[in-house]
Amino acid sequence: MIEFENVSKFFQGKAAVRDLSLNIKEGQFTVLIGTSGSGKSTTLKMINRLVEHDTGRIRFAGEEIRNFDVKTLRRRMGYAIQSIGLFPHWNVAQNIATVPQLLKWPQARVNARIDELLDLLGLEAAQFRDRYPHQLSGGQQQRVGVARALAADPEVLLMDEPFGALDPVTRGALQQEIIRIHQLLGRTIVLVTHDIDEALTLADRIVLMDNGQVIQQGTPLALLTHPATDFVRDFFGRSEWGLRLLSLRHVAERVRTHERLDGE
């Protein structure tokens, strides 16, 4: 659905992303991970043309993104980011309605959509619709930010460290929420994080980046069990959730063995 072919991006002559090739499949939850400065955000922003790539090709639904009108492209892709907050002088309903209003949806449809999204994100509409951002907790603001990104039912949801500033409990709750939304809506999601446990928890496919390049990509289990380099092994070796995934796999294998022995 989103293809990068030998894409590079330079800032002041220095490559932020170098010769990157990547295929993001429709309906998959892809997580870009890597240390700070590895090129994750630049890669994400090139998808909706917040950053224009210098060389190579990026295609969306088979068409080069350079051929899209930028507004059309961005309406087809929701974008949620930790540091771009909600509009402070707009209430929750107005914030969520940003893109539907631009698209001139009828007001009744906009209202129904706001209620539907608040419900989807576990916020009671009657209680939250009219609140202003400063009347919300950090977690509630993030929920509204995700609702806003989903408002016009985009084909792709792009998220840059969406849960970065949250406490571990709220972060865990929102991670579960986003997994539920992904399962429910079946949308393509691309999420950037530097949190290894978050990547292993959320991803169908992890893309590990370093120094503007893809070091390895694959399912969480593939990266844990078949790291391509010592760098990959060390990177994921620090993760408790990774160890748990491996031990769960070990348990599943034992169960299968026992079932086979029982059947003999």
Angle between helix 138-150 and helix 168-185 axes, rounded to 10 deg? 20
Nearer to ligand ADP, 110 or 202 (CB): 202
Distance between CA atoms of residues 14 and 210, nearest Å? 15
Residues 124 and 182 sit within 8 Å (Cβ to Cβ) = no
Residue 113, helix vs strand vs coil: helix
Residue 149's Cβ-count burial label (10 Å; 0-12, 13-18, 19+) is: buried
Q: How far is CA 121 from the centre of its chain?
A: 16
Nearer to ligand ADP, 38 or 95 (CB): 38
- Interacting residues with ligand ADP between 7 and 46 (CB under 6 A): 11, 16, 34, 36-42
Nearer to ligand ADP, 46 or 223 (CB): 46
Q: Is 162 in the site for ligand ADP (CB under 6 A)?
A: no
Nearer to ligand ADP, 177 or 195 (CB): 195
Nearer to ligand ADP, 40 or 148 (CB): 40
CB of 202 to ligand ADP, least distance (A): 17
CB of 161 to ligand ADP, least distance (A): 8
Nearer to ligand ADP, 15 or 185 (CB): 15
Q: Is 83 in the site for ligand ADP (CB under 6 A)?
A: no
Distance between CA atoms of residues 134 and 221, nearest Å? 41
- For residue 48 the two structure tokens come to 């909706």
> How many residues lie near ligand ADP (CB under 6 A)?
10
CB of 113 to ligand ADP, least distance (A): 31
Token pair 């639904």: residue: 61
**What is the DSSP code (8-state) at residue 133?**
G
Nearer to ligand ADP, 52 or 240 (CB): 52
Residues 196 and 35 sit within 8 Å (Cβ to Cβ) = no
CB of 48 to ligand ADP, least distance (A): 14
Residue 228's Cβ-count burial label (10 Å; 0-12, 13-18, 19+) is: middle
CB of 37 to ligand ADP, least distance (A): 4
- For residue 79 the two structure tokens come to 């974008």
CB of 10 to ligand ADP, least distance (A): 9
CB of 184 to ligand ADP, least distance (A): 28
* Amino acid, single-letter form, for residue 31: V
Token pair 């170098």: residue: 18
Distance between CA atoms of residues 215 and 71, nearest Å? 32
Using CB under 6 A, list all residues that contact ligand ADP.
11, 16, 34, 36-42
